[in-house]
């Protein structure tokens, strides 16, 4: 069974304090790994898709990386507006996404 585990469950940072979120996965035949951002009471917002180990993608203060067992979402010099829940999802042989429980990030000014 495909599984996604995200850690930590919650993370508090000071503005400017860089850190990383982890997404470990077990899947037979990874077609893609996706990162989303979700604000309270809203739908997830697409951030990145990674397809193969070694791949990296960047967007503003966020950088996502992928290995054969896990993905990291690095946040450089975060700002309060980066506060949200970050969701990781994997896609295996079907087009279904299996989501982790997310990491709730709070960035204090």
Partner 1 sequence: GAVVSQHPSWVICKSGTSVKIECRSLDFQATTMFWYRQFPKQSLMLMATSNEGSKATYEQGVEKDKFLINHASLTLSTLTVTSAHPEDSSFYICSARAMTSNEQFFGPGTRLTVL
Binding mask 51-90 for partner 1 (x = CB under 8 A): ------------------------------------x---
**Minimum gap (Å) between residue 16 Cβ and partner 1:** 28
Q: What is the DSSP string of 10-79?
A: EEEEETT--EEEEEEEE-SS--EEEEEEE-TTS--EEEEEE-STT-EEEETTEEEEE-SSEEEEEE-S--
Q: Is residue 93 involved in binding partner 1 (CB under 8 A)? A: no
Question: Which residue ranges make up the site for partner 1 (CB under 8 A)?
Answer: 31-32, 34, 36, 41-46, 49, 87, 91, 95-97, 99-102
């Amino acid at each position: 069974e495909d599984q996604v585990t995200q850690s930590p469950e919650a993370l508090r940072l000071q503005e400017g304090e860089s850190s990383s979120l982890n997404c470990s996965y077990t899947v037979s035949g990874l077609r893609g790994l996706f990162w989303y951002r979700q604000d309270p009471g809203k739908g997830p917002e697409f951030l990145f898709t990674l397809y193969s180990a070694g791949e990296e993608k960047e967007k503003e203060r966020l950088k996502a990386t992928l290995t054969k067992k896990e993905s990291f979402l690095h946040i450089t010099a975060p700002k309060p507006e980066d506060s949200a829940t970050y969701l990781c999802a994997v896609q295996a042989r079907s087009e279904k996404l299996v989501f982790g429980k997310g990491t709730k990030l709070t960035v204090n000014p």
